[in-house]
Chain A
Amino acid sequence: MKSLAELQEIRNRTLNNITLRKEGADEIRVVVGMATCGIAAGARPVMSAFVEEIAKRNLSNVTVAQTGCIGVCRLEPIVEIMMPGEEKVTYVKMTPEKAKRVVAEHIVNKQIVSEYTIGAAN
């Protein structure tokens, strides 16, 4: 069984990473819409997929956050990606599978997955 005491060790390990990270601080933000329509449409597994994929690839300069209603219920789950110096990209009708692809292509390789963007859905 996991115990709270393990957090001590996780804390120490993480502190080392944080000091390393400060130097190349190119923060990328992933924001998942978590209002009623987003949750009903599947925002929770999408959020989990981003968190897992980012952890698996050790992308320590990416933060995942949640927000309220982004706007268009029929296009939920909606995810926004903000990169420094780039315009915000809005992905719609997201799924865990699409989330993995967005991490690999957009966040890692800097290639927007156009077919999932709000522009393509309209």
Chain B
Amino acid sequence: MEELSLHILDIVQNSIAADAANIKVEIIEDIEADSLKISVEDNGKGMSEETVKKVCDPFTTGRTTRRVGMGIPLLKLAAELTGGGISIESKLGEGTKITAWFGYSHIDRQPLGDIASTMQQLICMNEQVDFMYIHRVGEKVFELDTREIKKMLQGVSLTEAAVMDWVLGYLTENEEQLYQNS
């Protein structure tokens, strides 16, 4: 993966596969603390303790012959390369929270990349899910609760071309604001 937003796109697919109805994506950029933190929290079916151990370290479990996924190990690797790491909190039947933190100024830290397209695709292609998206850059914050969009649309699909276009525009504008010096 070349962008952190691609990791987000991928990690959220796990939440969707786990039948989550609510997914919260949070990005916190704290330049003073030299930290970038990403978390994805869902109310999907969750994982057992054993599964959590396995997904964190797919290559050291050894005895399993099942195919292991690559999504979480790739995120972990990307984080560790910058002096950061990941943590997974999960409870069967309740949900999962995955947090990854990165050294903000580390040379190996991938750029956040096209987070607007990422969130647009997640939001519009998974209408059954209510998303909370929060992006903090220093003191500035952008928050989007997709229930507000759905309320305005009153049943019109988020996959409608005009809606997808608006969602992308809305995200793009607000993301740009976050990086503008006030």
Contacts and interface: CB of A to CB of B under 8 A. Distances in A.
Interface string B59-102: 00000000001110010000000000000000000000000000
A66 B121 contact: yes
B107 interface: no
Contact of B121 (A1, A14, A48, A68): A48
A47 to B, nearest CB: 6
Interface in A28-87: 34-37, 39-40, 44-45, 47-48, 51, 54-55, 58, 60, 63-66, 68
B132 interface: no
A120 interface: no
Contact of B173 (A1, A7, A64): A1
A13 B162 contact: yes
B159 A64 contact: yes
A6 interface: yes
What is the interface of chain A mostly: helix, strand, loop, or mixed?
helix
Contacts, number: 84
B6 A11 contact: no
Most buried by B among A18, A54, A66: A66
Interface of B: 1, 6, 9-10, 13, 17, 69-71, 74, 114, 117-118, 121, 125-126, 148-149, 152-154, 156, 159-166, 169-170, 173, 177
Given A39-B9, A44-B9, 13 more contacts: A1-B177, A4-B148, A11-B153, A14-B162, A36-B10, A36-B13, A36-B70, A39-B10, A47-B125, A55-B161, A55-B165, A66-B125, A68-B17
Interface of A: 1-2, 4-8, 10-11, 13-15, 18, 34-37, 39-40, 44-45, 47-48, 51, 54-55, 58, 60, 63-66, 68
